[in-house]
């Protein structure tokens, strides 16, 4: 049995990567973490929110069979604490007889039994969260006793509100334990720290903030767990995007409990954190869904090159397969750049000429199209042939198709349904085009910790400097159809991320006609985005889980005297451009 003085406490923070629904796998990893923590002298091991079930479990928690299995797994772990080793605070669901929805809970396991359970009081119902849909709120919690220490458990959202921690402090809690499932987004780490500091300042109690790591569908969890003392000093900082079991040592003094200074990991920031988020999200989507690897189209352009680098860093070169699929408009430079990128990454590279299938489609359609002039229809056939070939390779060889459209393109519909939008997952779906260039330059200069690709530059310089083009017609560039990407991205940031009125967007220095056109394209492309592959959430307003606009939508915001009347859809022509 781990010896414990009444005035000391060793608490292990298990910053781990659970898998939703994998009760046995999560339980096995929890057992290993408990053993590791005990070897390091811990008396208590804290796991993240809903660790046992995986987070977020969504409607899975409503299945009675899943509820029973989760309870059995919890009781199994509780029984193991009868060995006299470390106690456990485990995040799990808690069904109750006759209740339609279970509760989001943290259970204290010690001495071979479930010693107590505390429930999440505030259930978030905004952004990516739908917890009111599947959980019932718990009562305001009180402290829970563990070997002579009164612990206040505040689960995730409960520290974002003032009342729960205040109630715990008023009812005798000595240390606040906050298990979290807090998804990554830009700026979230600072927001979490600010909230924790506010709770500590208000109540004068030290706080343990524990977050999970890893990817779950579109969400990525960055960890970055930390411990604050009652004076708001940082006692412990765990790394970002990395599993670890770290022990924090506490001592009780005349002013209460204080954590000794421990690990102070340097967390990722800026382009590094975004890049690691894309790598983590893609890696876990592939691994947790059992794909042997990925395949993607490598065009010689910046988006596919960055996606290839992310894929290689996530899975290793041997699990990435790139296809160059040239047609008559593919330049020699693109052929050279795609091959150079694949060679630098060390991935498999094949060339499949699409001339025959594209011309076969054109010939098959000739009786219907007659002598009508070529337009975006023929351009989209090229993209859809490429999408078909990628899906065929996926079906035959088992690799998942990575799709490579960035957020700027996805916003305005600059993409082809059933063509370049084909795929199982998109690591850069929530990354604007200007940031794509920044991430590519960052990766050429550095290989972040945990990445499996080669060191050194992996994206040829010419890909970074040449004008972006879909190469679906002679001499085409993206700017034939769109404003320059720095201008487009600023408009989109204002419309999508900030929901700014059009007049304010114009006041940023943009032409009224351009702003009105981009707003119109943004609305019209909603039907495409509903059919897009999932992808890593980076911003606070990603398409899908955060920003949920109707497809059928006639609203248009007035902009002075409207610069141009909206057109009704007329087939594909009203999209202004469908291909990528």
Low-confidence ranges of the chain (pLDDT < 70): 1-5, 470-473, 475-476, 478-480, 560-580
pLDDT of residue 291: 96
Ranges for all domains in the chain classified under CATH 3.40.50.620: 271-575
For 56, the 3-state DSSP assignment is coil
Beta bridge partners of 153: 177
- Annotated active-site residue in 156, 167, 248, 341: 156
Extended beta strands in 111-243, E state: 113-119, 144-146, 149-153, 175-180, 207-211, 213-216, 219-222, 226-228, 234-237
CA distances from 199 to 89, 149, 228, 520 (A): 21, 20, 10, 43
Nearest 5°: phi and psi at 106?
Answer: -125, 125
> Is 248 annotated as catalytic?
no
Q: Which member of 36, 49, 273, 379 is catalytic?
A: 49
Catalytic-labelled residue, pool 103, 120, 433, 528? 120
What's the fold here for domain 8-267? Nitrilase/N-carbamoyl-D-aminoacid amidohydrolase (3.60.110)
Amino acid 579: pLDDT: 39
Sequence ranges of the chain with CATH classification 3.60.110.10: 8-267
pLDDT digits over 74-119, tens only?
999 999 999 989 999 999 999 988 888 999 999 999 999 999 999 9
Q: Are 310 and 450 in contact (CB under 8 A)?
A: no
Tokens, residue 94: 């808690």
Scanning the structure block, which residue is given the tokens 């560039």? Answer: 477
Per-residue model confidence (pLDDT) at position 61: 94
Partners of 14 in beta bridges: 245
Fold that domain 271-575 belongs to in CATH: Rossmann fold (3.40.50)
Q: Coil, strand or helix: which one is 122?
A: coil
Q: What is the pLDDT of residues 233-247, one digit of tens each?
A: 999 999 999 999 999
What pLDDT does 158 receive?
Answer: 95
Question: What pLDDT is recorded for position 480?
Answer: 65
Is residue 188 part of the annotated active site? The answer reads: no
What pLDDT does 544 receive?
80
CB 337 within 8 A of CB 463: yes
Contacts of residue 293, defined as CB under 8 A and 6 or more positions apart, other chains included, come to: 286, 315, 318, 319, 320, 321, 398, 399, 400
49 is catalytic: yes
Q: How many CA atoms lie within 13 A of 31 on its CB side?
A: 15
Contact 140/164 with Cβ under 8 angstroms?
A: yes
Residue 575 DSSP symbol: G
């Amino acid at each position: 049995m781990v010896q414990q003085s009444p005035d000391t406490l060793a608490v292990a923070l298990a910053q781990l990567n659970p898998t939703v629904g994998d009760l046995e796998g999560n339980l096995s990893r929890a057992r290993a973490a408990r053993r590791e923590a005990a070897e390091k002298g811990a008396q208590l091991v804290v796991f993240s929110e809903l660790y046992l079930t995986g987070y977020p479990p969504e409607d899975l928690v409503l299945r009675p069979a899943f509820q029973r299995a989760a309870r059995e797994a919890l009781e199994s772990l509780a029984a193991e604490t009868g060995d006299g080793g470390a106690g456990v605070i485990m995040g799990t669901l808690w069904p109750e007889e006759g209740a339609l929805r279970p509760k989001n809970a943290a259970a204290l396991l010690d001495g071979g039994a479930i010693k107590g359970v505390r429930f999440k009081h505030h259930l978030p119902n905004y952004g990516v969260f739908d917890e009111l849909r599947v959980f019932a709120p718990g009562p305001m919690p009180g402290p829970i006793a563990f070997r002579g220490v009164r612990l206040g458990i505040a689960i995730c959202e409960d520290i974002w509100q003032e009342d729960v921690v205040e109630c715990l402090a008023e009812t005798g809690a000595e240390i606040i334990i906050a298990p979290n499932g807090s998804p990554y987004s830009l700026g979230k780490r600072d927001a979490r720290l600010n909230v924790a500091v506010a709770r500590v300042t208000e109540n004068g109690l030290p706080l343990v903030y524990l977050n999970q790591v890893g990817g779950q569908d579109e969400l990525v969890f960055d960890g970055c767990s930390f411990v604050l003392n009652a004076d708001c000093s940082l006692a412990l900082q765990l790394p970002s995007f990395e599993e670890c079991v770290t022990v924090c040592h506490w001592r009780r003094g005349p002013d209460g409990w204080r954590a000794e200074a421990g690990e102070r990991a340097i967390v990722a920031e800026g382009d590094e954190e975004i890049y690691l988020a894309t790598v983590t999200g893609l890696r876990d989507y592939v691994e947790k869904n059992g794909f042997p690897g990925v395949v993607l189209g490598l065009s010689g352009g910046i988006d596919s090159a960055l996606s290839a680098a992310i894929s290689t860093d996530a899975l290793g070169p041997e699990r990435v397969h790139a296809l160059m699929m040239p047609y008559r408009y593919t330049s020699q430079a693109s052929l050279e750049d795609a091959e150079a990128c694949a060679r630098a990454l060390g991935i498999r590279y094949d060339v499949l000429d699409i001339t025959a299938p594209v011309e076969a489609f054109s010939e098959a359609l000739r009786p219907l199209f007659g002598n009508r002039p070529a337009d975006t229809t023929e351009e989209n056939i090229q993209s859809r042939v490429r999408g078909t070939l990628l899906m065929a390779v996926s079906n035959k060889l088992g690799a998942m198709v990575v799709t490579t459209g960035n957020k700027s393109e996805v916003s305005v519909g600059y993409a082809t349904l059933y063509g370049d939008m084909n795929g199982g997952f998109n690591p850069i779906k929530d990354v604007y085009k200007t940031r794509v260039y920044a991430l590519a330059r960052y990766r050429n200069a550095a290989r972040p910790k945990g990445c499996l690709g080669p060191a050194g530059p992996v994206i040829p310089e010419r890909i970074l400097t040449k004008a972006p083009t879909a190469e679906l017609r002679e001499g085409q560039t993206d700017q034939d159809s769109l404003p320059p990407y720095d201008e487009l991205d600023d408009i989109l940031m204002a419309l999508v991320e900030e929901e700014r009125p059009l007049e304010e967007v114009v006041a940023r220095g943009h032409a009224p006609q351009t702003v009105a056109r981009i707003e119109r394209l943004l609305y019209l492309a909603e039907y495409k985005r509903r059919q897009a592959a999932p992808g890593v959430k980076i911003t606070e307003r990603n398409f899908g889980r955060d920003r949920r606009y109707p497809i059928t939508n006639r609203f248009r915001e007035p902009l002075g005297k409207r610069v141009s009347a909206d057109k009704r859809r007329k087939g594909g022509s009203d999209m202004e451009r469908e291909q990528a």
